[in-house]
Amino acid sequence: MQVHFESRDPEGARLRELVVERLRFALRRVDLHPASAHISLSDTNGPRGGVDKRCTLSLNAQGAGHLVIHASASSWRASFELALARLARSLVRAWQRQRSHPRQNNKRLLPATAAE
């Protein structure tokens, strides 16, 4: 899996290794084989403070298609953890959909009776 990380803020860039490691760990548990992931950390209103740290996770997965998750929080780490939790829930739902609806005919075959 290819992971692309983007952050213009030096504080956000320091989290690169942690973010990539956490993403790989979370995706290991879901059997969808993602081809690529893009992580972007941005500050929406600059140094003013507040709930303005935004994390965008974009994932191309074989079984789930293209997923884009956005999360905002007051810190880089919190916004990433929130986005990762949302991504994990979305992937689990996609995985469950795949497993619960196999593309087979679900009609049960009735056993033949002895009289026939």
In the chain, helix, strand, coil percent, each to 5?
40, 30, 30
Specify the fold of 2-100: Double Stranded RNA Binding Domain (3.30.160)
Model confidence at 113: pLDDT above 60: no
Task: Sketch the domain layout of the chain as residue ranges.
Answer: 2-100
Is the model more confident about 106 or about 73? 73
pLDDT mean over 102-109? 52
Structure tokens at 37: 């992931």
* The CA-based dihedral angle spanning residues 61, 5, 47, 10, taken in that order and rounded to the nearest 10 degrees: 160
Query: Which secondary-structure segment (H or E) carries 65?
Result: strand 65-73
Condensed to tens digits (0 to 9), the pLDDT of residues 33-91 reads 667 889 999 888 777 766 789 999 998 877 667 889 999 998 889 999 999 999 888 87
pLDDT mean over 82-107? 75
Q: What is the pLDDT of residue 31?
A: 61
